[in-house]
Amino acid sequence: MHSTVKLSRSIATVDVEDYFQVEAFSRAVDRRTWRHFPSRVVDNTNRVLDLFDELHVTGTFFVLGWVAEEHPRLIRRIACSGHELACHSYWHHLVYELTSDQFRRDTRRAKDAIEQAAGVPVSGYRAPSFSITPRCTWAFEVLAELGFLYDSSVFPIKHDVYGFSNAPRIPFRLDTPSGPILEFPMTTFRLPGLPQLPVAGGGYLRILPDWYTRAGVRRAWREGLTVVSYVHPWELDPDQPHLKSPLRSRFRHYTNLAKTAKKLRALLALDRFTSFRDSGLVSVKITTGMETASA
């Protein structure tokens, strides 16, 4: 008798970082001063965990290595709650601003910190601010070298900070000299006459109207795409301290924080969302997709 694995079309992910660690404030906040800021990541991540528990959602938590070292009990709670732990770098540097050696050291340190905190292996990675772009396709080889099975950093759109607009929009396999790695791109959808539009996470979930999210997600499903949602714990925290930064950064970071929980709840009600680990997708045979990543 052969058993069949039902593959999920909907993935819930969380990028576990504190409000002062985001790219929007990277020029205003020196990483050496992170410990001087009042941390809110534990309480905010617990809010996400409680919401997921209420909705019976299992997710993938991409954890900053710095957070894992500072708050190991939080990391153990995530794992003990049945969620998947994955890596979100150590220092939240944009990948394309690092050398391959710097990226390797940062990622190895983060992976080790998360695994030591929870005592479970880490097989998934997401770059800070989706910063694996055409400028740094060498990162895929480093990830394969370090033992990662999959990545979810590619965003097939044009953006001022990130974007890999010519990448496939469906999951694909990259063959590198260090071995293969699966890529699960962030969710986009198409409308006639428009470029690919982002949906289902972060500022797109908070700032854009609910009808846009519903329409975009359903359109992506009709196109046969896997919907990868994402949220940051600080997005459920409207009372967080306000930091100085350019107007565009403040708009992206602070808009609609009080509405995030409601909007996230509505998104997760559209389908049965689960983790990459439990989706069945990581174990399936996926076609090679992006030739530039093999270089």
Report yes or no on 260 lying in a domain.
Answer: yes
Q: Is 105 within the bounds of a domain?
A: yes
Q: Cα torsion at 131, 136, 137, 138 (round to 10°)?
A: -120
- Of 279, 87, 159, the closest CA to residue 167 belongs to 159
Residue 265 lies in a domain: yes
Within-domain flag for 5: no
Place of tokens 């060498």: 138
The tens place of each residue's pLDDT in the chain, 295 residues long, gives 334 446 889 999 999 999 999 998 998 899 999 999 999 999 999 999 999 999 999 999 999 999 999 999 999 999 999 999 999 999 999 999 999 999 999 999 999 999 999 999 999 999 999 999 999 999 999 999 999 999 999 999 988 888 898 899 999 999 999 999 999 999 999 988 888 999 999 999 999 999 999 999 999 999 999 999 999 999 999 999 999 888 888 999 999 999 999 999 999 999 999 999 999 999 887 877 765 333 2
CB neighbour burial string for 48-81, b if at least 16 within 10 angstroms, e if fewer = bbebbeeeebbbbbbbbbbbbbbbeebbbbbbee
Which CATH number goes with the domain that contains 186? Answer: 3.20.20.370
Inside any domain, residue 4: no
For residue 253, how many other CB atoms are within 10 A of its CB? 22
Q: Half-sphere exposure (CA, 13 Å, Cβ side) for 45?
A: 30
Domain range holding 237?
Answer: 10-294
Task: Please answer whether residues 114 and 70 qualify as being in contact, where contact means their C-beta atoms are separated by less than 8 angstroms.
Answer: no
> pTM (2 decimals)?
0.94
Confidence at residue 34, expressed as pLDDT on a 0 to 100 scale: 97
Q: Is residue 2 part of a domain?
A: no
Q: Report how many domains make up the chain.
A: 1
What span, in angstroms and rounded, lies between the C-alpha atoms of 22 and 243? 11
